[in-house]
């Protein structure tokens, strides 16, 4: 199981600007509470919704890091999957190294 992101979305995700993703898969590939590596930290799945494609709005597309619905679908529709999942997540950065000099 994995949750990968196109390169242009990675930095905004790590800044907390993108908090969800839409995936069109044959079957669910992530789990609630799952942690998937990104940069030096990871994204943690906080909610998974099985939705219809009609449920995906322009607002969801923008929250996912895309300009509009067409932009999102051009990336999401790259495989043979038919099940649409709206996945919410948070980015968890690694703990800062303390510089206590101890």
Q: What is the mean pLDDT of residues 17-43?
A: 95
C-alpha distances in Å from residue 92, one per residue of 14, 35, 56, 64, 74: 8, 9, 26, 17, 28
pLDDT at 72 over 70: yes
Extents of the domains making up the chain = 12-92
pLDDT of residue 79: 74
Distance CA 22, CA 53 (A): 10
The partner residues of 49 in beta bridges, in order of sequence, read: 86
pLDDT tens-digit readout, 81-94: 899 999 999 999 98
Q: What is the mean pLDDT of residues 27-42?
A: 96
The fold adopted by the segment(s) 12-92 is Sulfate adenylyltransferase (3.10.400)
């Amino acid at each position: 199981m994995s949750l990968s992101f196109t390169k242009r979305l990675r930095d905004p995700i790590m800044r907390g600007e993108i908090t969800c993703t839409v995936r069109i898969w044959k079957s669910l590939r992530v789990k609630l509470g799952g942690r998937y590596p990104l940069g030096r930290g990871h994204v943690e799945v906080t909610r998974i919704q099985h939705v219809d494609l009609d449920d995906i709005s322009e607002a969801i597309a923008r929250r996912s890091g895309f300009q509009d619905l067409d932009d999102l679908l051009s990336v999401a529709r790259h495989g043979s999957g038919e099940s649409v999942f709206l996945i919410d997540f948070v980015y968890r950065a690694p703990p800062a190294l303390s510089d206590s000099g101890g």
